[in-house]
Amino acid sequence: MSHQGVKRFLRKKNAVIGATIVIMVCFIAVFAPLLSPYHYAHGDLNDALLGIGEDSRYLLGTDHCGRDMLSRVLFGARISLLVGIIAQLANTVIGGTLGIVGGFYGRVWDDIIMFVTNVTLSIPVLIFALALMALLGPGLHNLFIALGITNWCGTCRLARSKTLSVKEENYVEAAQAIGCSNLRMLFKHILPNSIMPIIVIGTLGIGDAILIAASLGFLGLGAQPPLPEWGSMLSTGRNYFFNAPWLSILPGVAILVTVLGFNLLGDGLRDLIDPHTKKLTK
Amino acid sequence: MLTFIIRRFLAFIPTIIAVTFIIFVVLNLLPGDAAFVRAAGFKRGVANIEGIAQLREQWGLNDPAYVRYFRFLGGLLRGDLGTSYRTDEVLSDVIKERLPVTLKLAGISILLAVVGGLTFGFLAAIHRGSIIDLVCMVTAIVGVSVPEFWVGLMLMLVVAVKWGLLPTSGYSSGNILFLILPSLALGFRYIGLIARITRSSMLDVASQDYVRTAKAKGLSLFSVRGKHIFRNALVPILTIVGLESGWLFANTVVIEEVFGLPGIGRLLVVSILGRDIPSMQAAILIMVLAFLILNLAIDVGYGFLDPRIRY
């Protein structure tokens, strides 16, 4: 990003708010053990179900096992960030590779890849991920896989259309004329010139990945207790919904803030590289 | 027009076949023996070998995978979705019973989202920079960042528990009150999305030549806004409804779980937990079909809204 670009980014209030939230959440995730008063699995049954502010030792109250909610929410940032980022990395690599290959080689390759994309696209991501989690079994690692191989269609389409337009550029024609190999053209010209939008759509997808992971956790098919995954915390909180609503409120707020941060940041980045959408949303 | 619909419908077929293939492969790789689970349930935890063998024979699990796949496809052609491994119910009957619940839920959500989103977006575009505009934009970005099931829980907590206005959960087919909170929770994301897209496309359309022409020939402000701007702004809105309906259908799963609605989504969750493969296949297939059909309908709708679009 050039100096100009940084300036333009900073002028966008939303993007700056988003970036701040994301940096904060990352900070919390990295330093969770230092920031939390307790370990996320440490609980004392004598202190079970204390409300917010009811006991000075537990700022945000405790859950049914007497575990400190503040610590659990802070540690939860680790899981959600990890899931969002790893899943989106995988999706970006899969979608980007397929899209660029399809766009560059065209013909049968393109047809096959577009067919696979359209078929995958017709199965909603949450449903596909649900089925895969049923196959793989619940757990954090399986969550990475289930989310990392289902949500790449948007990236693939974007990478393909970007590749198609870059392919028409003069410098690609010139490279072809001097006898560049296909691989060299792919890595020296096509990839560097189409990578930015792919990265941006990847960032925009992190929020969705976190939401889907939370939904799976809520259904009992995501990360398993005692891991403090926000979605599964919500699902446990539901059992104490009427007596201890904070167990359901807090993880939800955490999800909302985190996803909001990524969405604002992604929107800002998209405006930065795509003047057309900037015009539309102004 | 008719040829377009038929052509689009034919293009469906390979997609559907591929989808059935993916679903079949994923679900039939499931670990665990359904026959064992079922037989164990009968004999209070003790599965006897004859029972298992009999169930495997009855469900055709001894045949090779490709035979089972073609039997599954053949059944689909006759509208036969098989029987549940868990309850022995005929699945086409189960779907017939549950589908209306999910369709009502999704339908009311889309309706709420379109009406609410259009209204907010329209007001925001007219009063640009006002407080309505700000609220609309904040709702839009919060809407896509919040998990549906959490919105549902919070609505339940405030509207049903605190204020006691609506039932907390449950369902009765004649009573629409049970569906209001679930639909609001499910539609919340789309209210914001549609408001945002309405606003931006109205502002976009407002600067088009035909709008200037309409103004120049002296049409009233109402007529310009209603007939020209609004109608043309509907095209991108329709697109977003189609694109995002996959997310909406999928999230009926979580919303039905929160509010205890006996729909397709609930069937899917229960059958996943019970390793009931035929029920899972049926539920997923119905959702994919609903998504594809809605998108086909939307493609057809474009032609009615914008006469410039011809197939």
Chain B residues closer than 8 Å to A115 by CB: 14, 18
Give the pair of three-digit tokens for residue B308. Answer: 């410039």
The rounded distance, in Å, linking the Cα atoms of B84 and A120 is 26
B257–A219: do the CB atoms touch at under 8 Å? yes
A135–B26: do the CB atoms touch at under 8 Å? yes
The Cα-based distances of B63 to A271, B56, B140, B282 in angstroms read: 55, 9, 52, 20
Average pLDDT over residues A58-84: 85
Cα nearest neighbour of B196 on chain A: A281
Q: Please tell me the distance in Å from A245's CA to the nearest CA on chain B.
A: 8
**CA geometry: angle at B260 spanning B259 and B261, to 5°?**
95
Q: Please state which of the ranges A122-126, A266-270, B129-133, B231-235 shows the lowest mean pLDDT.
A: B231-235
Which CATH topology does A9-31+72-281 take?
MetI-like fold (1.10.3720)
Cα nearest neighbour of B149 on chain A: A215
Rounded to the nearest 5°, which phi and psi values hold at A226? Answer: -85, 5
**CB-based burial of residue B132 (10 Å sphere; 0-12 exposed, 13-18 middle, 19+ buried)?**
middle
Q: Specify the pLDDT at position B239.
A: 81
The rounded distance, in Å, linking the Cα atoms of B75 and B88 is 16
The answer on pLDDT for B292 being more than 50 is yes
The rounded distance, in Å, linking the Cα atoms of A210 and A266 is 14
The domain ranges of chain B are 2-91, 96-305
Q: Specify the pLDDT at position B41.
A: 63
Q: Specify the pLDDT at position B311.
A: 53
B251–A126: do the CB atoms touch at under 8 Å? yes
The answer on pLDDT for B105 being more than 80 is yes
Of A231, A33, A16, A274, residue with least CA distance to A140: A231
Q: For chain B, what is the HEC assignment?
A: CHHHHHHHHHHHHHHHHHHHHHHHHHHHCCCCCHHHHHHHHHCCCCCCHHHHHHHHHHHCCCCCHHHHHHHHHHHHHCCCCCECCCCCCEHHHHHHHHHHHHHHHHHHHHHHHHHHHHHHHHHHHHCCCCHHHHHHHHHHHHHCCCCHHHHHHHHHHHHHHHCCCCCCCCCCCCCCHHHHHHHHHHHHHHHHHHHHHHHHHHHHHHCCHHHHHHHHCCCCHHHHHHHHHHHHHHHHHHHHHHHHHHHHHHHHHHHHHHHCCCCHHHHHHHHHHCCCHHHHHHHHHHHHHHHHHHHHHHHHHHHHHCCCCCC
A115–B253: do the CB atoms touch at under 8 Å? no
Task: Provide the ipTM.
Answer: 0.86
Q: Specify the pLDDT at position A282.
A: 32
Looking at the DSSP assignment, which residues form a beta bridge with residue A62? A68
How many A×B Cβ pairs under 8 Å?
132
B200–A281: do the CB atoms touch at under 8 Å? yes
The answer on pLDDT for B186 being more than 90 is yes
- The percentage of chain A sitting over the pLDDT mark of 70, rounded to a whole number, equals 94
A124–B246: do the CB atoms touch at under 8 Å? yes
- For residues A82 and A148, the answer to whether their CB atoms sit within 8 Å is no
B291–A122: do the CB atoms touch at under 8 Å? yes
Confidence category of residue A274, pLDDT binned at 50, 70, 90: low
| CATH code of the domain occupying B96-305 | 1.10.3720.10
Q: Please state which of the ranges A122-126, A209-213, B109-113, B161-165 shows the lowest mean pLDDT.
A: B161-165
Residue pLDDT, tens place only, B123-179: 888 888 788 888 888 888 898 899 999 999 999 988 888 887 888 777 877 778 888
Chain B residues closer than 8 Å to A76 by CB: none
Average pLDDT over residues B8-19: 84
The rounded distance, in Å, linking the Cα atoms of B101 and B262 is 7
- For residues B35 and B55, the answer to whether their CB atoms sit within 8 Å is yes
Query: Testing the interface with B: which of A25, A73, A127, A204 to mutate, by most B Cβ within 10 A?
Result: A127
Q: Specify the pLDDT at position B40.
A: 67
Q: Residue A176: what residue type?
A: Q
Q: Specify the pLDDT at position B164.
A: 79
The answer on pLDDT for B182 being more than 90 is yes
Q: Specify the pLDDT at position A280.
A: 38
pTM: 0.88
Confidence category of residue A275, pLDDT binned at 50, 70, 90: low
Query: Testing the interface with B: which of A21, A80, A130 to mutate, by most B Cβ within 10 A?
Result: A130
Residue pLDDT, tens place only, B38-63: 776 655 555 677 777 777 777 877 77
The domain ranges of chain A are 9-31+72-281
Specify which of A41-45, A135-139, A207-211 reaches the highest per-range mean pLDDT: A207-211
Chain A residues closer than 8 Å to B254 by CB: 126, 215, 218-219
User: Is A15 an interface residue toward B (CB < 8 Å)?
Assistant: no
Q: Specify the pLDDT at position A112.
A: 92
Confidence category of residue A95, pLDDT binned at 50, 70, 90: very high
Chain B residues closer than 8 Å to A248 by CB: 150, 153, 157
Q: Please state which of the ranges B50-64, B75-89, B238-252 shows the lowest mean pLDDT.
A: B50-64
A131–B284: do the CB atoms touch at under 8 Å? yes
User: Is A204 an interface residue toward B (CB < 8 Å)?
Assistant: no
A234–B288: do the CB atoms touch at under 8 Å? no
Q: Count how many Cα atoms sit within 13 Å of the Cα of residue B29 in the half-sphere of its side chain.
A: 12
Under DSSP, is residue A24 helix (H, G, I), strand (E, B) or coil? helix
The answer on pLDDT for B309 being more than 70 is no
**CA geometry: angle at B80 spanning B75 and B81, to 5°?**
95
The answer on pLDDT for B275 being more than 70 is yes
